[in-house]
Structure 1
Amino acid sequence: MNLDLLGKRALITGSSAGLGEATARLLAAEGAAVVIHGRSKDRVEAVAASIREAGGTADTALGDLATDEGAADVARAATADGAVDILVNNAGFYRHVSWAEATPTEWNDTYNVNVVSGVRMIQHLVPAMRGRGWGRVVTIGGGLASQPMNTHPQYNATLAARHNLAVSLARDLKGTGVTSNVVSPGAILVDATRELVTQIGPARGWGRTWDEIQPNAVEALIPNDQERFGEPDEIAAAVAYLCSTYAQYVSGATIRVDGGLIRSAF
């Protein structure tokens, strides 16, 4: 399917690895000129170079979105060679801490990175989309927004905020030709997920090798109809659809990509 992204320019925040990298690669393969963002020059340039070697168009933007100055730097770099038509707010982080360990400082830091950073990029880039009468904003959220775990509460809450702001933005963009939507992943098998599950698996009796641990981890943590972890490319595909011309009638929506997650009590 041709998603009609040729000639569109897309900034994917946090795209030097993980879901952001997978999304950037797919959008580039569909013809979009992508802007790879991160804080590590080497990692950002490596991803961009790989996309160019595959025949795509990729530029880079370095900066810390958790500061006003860093976000402004990223916006300037992203628009240096053309207006940004697509903003994928993917950048974020979490620390696996308990309620007792989640201090007010931890809450503030997580909220700034996971919520306010996205707001900064929206305010830098969306007004021009509105003026041109076309644009896409896709926010990466998560199932923990509506069904939080008892751990890392500061992260769960920021996902809820990301979902909420995306819908509010969609209402504000009524009639402009710009859409705002959420892609809500389940547990996706990025390096951090594999590392965490491998670390806690033996102590929970799931096994010692990855082949032993994975099915038990899925059953214990994320029971779903597909009986597996998701893959980054599956999230990228949902983002690509929302960025396409086929999704013009989709706004304020949340697309779950979680295998049909059956969430039980934790």
Structure 2
Amino acid sequence: MHIELSGKQALVTGSTAGIGLAITTGLAKAGAQVTLVGRDQAKVDTALNYIRQASGRDDVGGIVADAGTAVGCQTIIESLPETDILVNNLGIYGGCPFFDINDDAWEEIFQVNVMSGVRLARHYAKGMQTRGWGRIQFISSESALNIPAEMVHYGVSKAALQGFSRGLAKVLAGSGVTVNTILPGPTRTEGAQAMMAEMGKERGVTAEQMETLFLAENRPSTLLKRFATPEEVANLCIYAASPQASATTGAALRVEGGIVESIA
């Protein structure tokens, strides 16, 4: 199967590192004209250089904005009024005992993990619908189906994203615009590696050893038995963005290593 996205414009939020950077790079390699979004100019510039070198393309764009805010989303929309592919990758997470999660923490995680995608999809879906073609993705998590006790607010925000994605797919039914969520499991991003290093230091083990311990203690149902790479997650996203995925919509596409105990 050869995925060809030449002539398509793609926008990926939270894309200066990790899964977002891998998605943006993969889309560029497949021929899409990509625009990445980050909050820090230096990180945006570094990511732009990386994608240009990896893809051999010089038409990669970057927007400096905080997509987790209404103002930031408006900045993105004004900078790039239309896109064919929208990947809402921006997200935050972090362990916290349930009784210590205050209202501000709940509000922040919903603004970043849910409302960023709502605001951008509300704008870009209109143009996609008019043109009769589009791809909208929300990077969710296996935690949406398997709410983790150590970060309930994160899991709930991802579950809300699942519901929104399914509802938007119904709104856009028959339009040629597909809407799907992607459900990664533990992935070896920079943030996850830093977390494993910190947890490992407390227990006197390496970050690599801590990954194994984390899976055994927190995700024992994993069939992959290791953290995925950002590129492995990105591969599914790139397929879902392709013309070949035209009959896949309203779906929760899992790339979580078999953690979720379900055959559906």
TM-score by length of 2: 0.93
| Alignment partners' CA distance in 1, 2:157 and 2:26 | 26
CA RMSD of superposed structures (Å): 1.5
Aligned match for 1:249, one of 247, 250, 255: 247
Deviation at 1:262, TM superposition (A): 5.4
Q: Which residue of 2 aligns with 1:49?
A: 49
2:104 aligned with 1:102, yes or no?
no
| Alignment partners' CA distance in 1, 2:211 and 2:150 | 21
- Structure 2: which 5+ residue stretches go unaligned? none
Q: Which residue of 1 aligns with 2:211?
A: 214
| Alignment partners' CA distance in 2, 1:16 and 1:202 | 27
List structure 1 runs of 4+ shifted beyond 4 angstroms: none
| Alignment partners' CA distance in 1, 2:88 and 2:13 | 6
Q: Which residue of 2 aligns with 1:70?
A: 72
Q: Which residue of 2 aligns with 1:229?
A: 227
Q: Which residue of 2 aligns with 1:261?
A: 259
Q: Which residue of 1 aligns with 2:138?
A: 139
Aligned match for 1:61, one of 57, 60, 63: 63
Q: 2:60 corresponds to which letter in structure 1?
A: A
| Alignment partners' CA distance in 1, 2:4 and 2:194 | 37
Count of residue pairs the alignment pairs up: 258
CA contact under 8 A between 1:72 and 1:124: conserved in structure 2?
Answer: no
TM-score by length of 1: 0.92
| Alignment partners' CA distance in 1, 2:160 and 2:260 | 22
In structure 2, do the counterparts of structure 1 residues 217 and 153 end up closer, same or farther at CA, with 3 Å as the change threshold? closer
In structure 2, do the counterparts of structure 1 residues 170 and 262 end up closer, same or farther at CA, with 3 Å as the change threshold? closer
Deviation at 1:202, TM superposition (A): 5.3
Q: 1:219 corresponds to which letter in structure 2?
A: A
Deviation at 1:12, TM superposition (A): 0.3
Q: Which residue of 1 aligns with 2:164?
A: 165
Deviations 1:73-130 (Å, cap 9, x if unpaired)? 1112123xxx310000000112321112100111111111111111110112110000
2:195 aligned with 1:193, yes or no?
no
Identity of aligned residues (%): 33
